Amino acid sequence: MEPGAIADLVSFCREHPKSIVGAQGFEADNPTQLSLGGKVKTWKGYRFIQPLAGQVVTCDLLSGNLVCIPRIVVDAIGYPDTKATPHYGGDSLYLVRAQKAGFQLFVDTRHTAWNSPGEPRLYPSNWLLAGGDPFKILKLVFVPQSGLSWRVWWHLNWEAYGVWGLVMFCKKYASMVVITVLRFLPIGLRQRGAYLLKALKS
Total domains in the chain come to 2
pLDDT above 70: residue 200: no
pLDDT in tens, 40-62: 999 989 999 999 989 999 999 99
Same domain, 147 and 73: no
**Does the residue 10 lie in any domain?**
yes
CA dist., res. 141 & res. 132, Å (int): 16
The residue with greater pLDDT, 186 or 166, is 166
**Does the residue 95 lie in any domain?**
yes
The residue with greater pLDDT, 108 or 184, is 108
**Does the residue 130 lie in any domain?**
no
**pTM of the entire structure?**
0.85
**Does the residue 151 lie in any domain?**
yes
Same domain, 143 and 99: no
Structural domain span for residue 15: 5-115
pLDDT above 90: residue 191: no
Strand partners, 42: 45
CA end-to-end distance (rounded Å), the chain? 31
Pairing of strands 30-36, 61-62: unpaired
**Does the residue 76 lie in any domain?**
yes
pLDDT above 80: residue 161: yes
